[in-house]
Amino acid sequence: MLQQVELYSALGRAEQNELFVKLEKAYAMLPESTCASCATCCKWGSPPAFFIEYLNMYKYVRDNMKDSWQELLKKATEYYYLELVDTEQTCPFLGQDNKCSIYQVRPFSCRAYGLLSKEDFEIGDRGLKHLAKKFKEEYDITIPEEIVNYDLAWCDKVISPQGYQDKSSMAGLAAQIGTLDYSFFPQELVDQEGTLLPYPVHLCNTVLGSGARSRKIKVMKQFTDAREKELLNGFIEKATLFQF
């Protein structure tokens, strides 16, 4: 969403206005919980994060994960280009040990998963059926059925001493985090969830610039037609030069 130079000014503004402190306070309102750590929810895709959460994760990766920068940039770039056509894509923060490498700063959507009762849990229509039709008609790209039809199931392994949370309180808390994005973007865009994007999308907007999106179709087509990654590898090479 922002180029790196703007990103640094956004990071400065967030520090100055204590937005990270406010974000931590909002996270602290969620109850303690444990789960079976099976990582099924981390293999569904990369969860959406508000821009302030992206900044928080960006800062954490910059300050604590220098040895993993290249690997993360590679995974995030692959995810950004292939999320709709490659069933192997998972959240780029999921390590080989099945653990989250940014657990302390994971976004609200990860923290909240499993805290609603089965009756209240809903993922919502991701619009993939419509998108699959459009991609086929306009670009002759087939989005695999497994991706079109996959829905993250409700998880019964999350245990909280405080029980399931009230749906409207959780929605209110998410909205409260969203308001922190008003410092960077027009309120209307934030309210329409225009700043709620998967981490790889935020990161690739920073790293690859605004042209990345327009090249997506060519990369996807090369992958679906011939399982080729030549174009993608060029973008990965560029992305992995990035310094956080």
Closest approach of ligand SF4 to the CB of residue 147, in Å: 17
Closer by beta carbon to ligand SF4, 99 or else 136 = 99
Which span (5-13, 88-96, 115-123, 201-209) binds ligand SF4, by CB under 6 A? 88-96
CA dihedral 72, 8, 103, 152 (to 10 degrees): -70
- Would you count residue 11 as binding ligand SF4 (CB under 6 A)? no
Minimum distance of ligand SF4 from residue 38's CB (angstroms)? 4
What is the token pair recorded at 31? 């109850």
Cβ proximity of 121 and 154 under 8 Å = yes
From first CA to last CA, the distance across the chain in angstroms is 16
Q: Which of 11, 94, 189, 231 binds ligand SF4 (CB under 6 A)?
A: 94
Task: Name the residue nearer to ligand SF4 (CB basis): 158 or 189.
Answer: 158
Shortest reach from residue 13's CB to ligand SF4, in Å: 24
Residue 200 binds ligand SF4, judged by CB under 6 A: no
Q: Using the rule CB under 6 A, which residue among 155, 174, 217, 231 binds ligand SF4?
A: 155
Q: Is 174 one of the binding residues for ligand SF4 (CB under 6 A)?
A: no
Contact status: 27 vs ligand SF4 (CB under 6 A)? no
Q: Residue 112, interface with ligand SF4 (CB under 6 A)?
A: no
**Using the rule CB under 6 A, is 123 a contact of ligand SF4?**
no
**What's phi and psi for 201, nearest 5 deg?**
-70, -45
Please give the DSSP secondary-structure letter assigned to residue 45. Answer: -
Range 34-60 burial, b when 16+ CB lie within 10 A, else e? ebeeebebbbbbbbbbbbbbbbbbbbb
CB of 144 to ligand SF4, least distance (A): 21
- Which residue type occupies 226? A
> How many other CB atoms are there within 10 angstroms of residue 126's CB atom?
14
Minimum CB separation of residue 140 from ligand SF4 in Å reads: 32
Q: What is the C-alpha to C-alpha distance for residues 78 and 94, in angstroms, rounded to an integer?
A: 14
Number of Cβ within 10 Å of residue 208's Cβ equals 21
Show the 3-state SS of 142-160.
CCCHHHHHCCCCCCCCCEC
198 binds ligand SF4 (CB under 6 A): no
Nearer to ligand SF4, 84 or 110 (CB): 110
Which stretches does DSSP call E strand in the chain?
A: 48-49, 197-198
Considering only 141-149, 155-163, 188-196, 225-233, which stretch makes contact with ligand SF4 by CB under 6 A? 155-163
- Identify the residue among 14, 51, 56, 114 touching ligand SF4 (CB under 6 A): 114
List the one residue out of 207, 218, 216 whose CA is nearest residue 243: 207
In the complex, which residues of this chain contact ligand SF4 (CB under 6 A)? 35-42, 47, 91, 93-94, 100, 102, 106, 110, 113-114, 155, 157-158
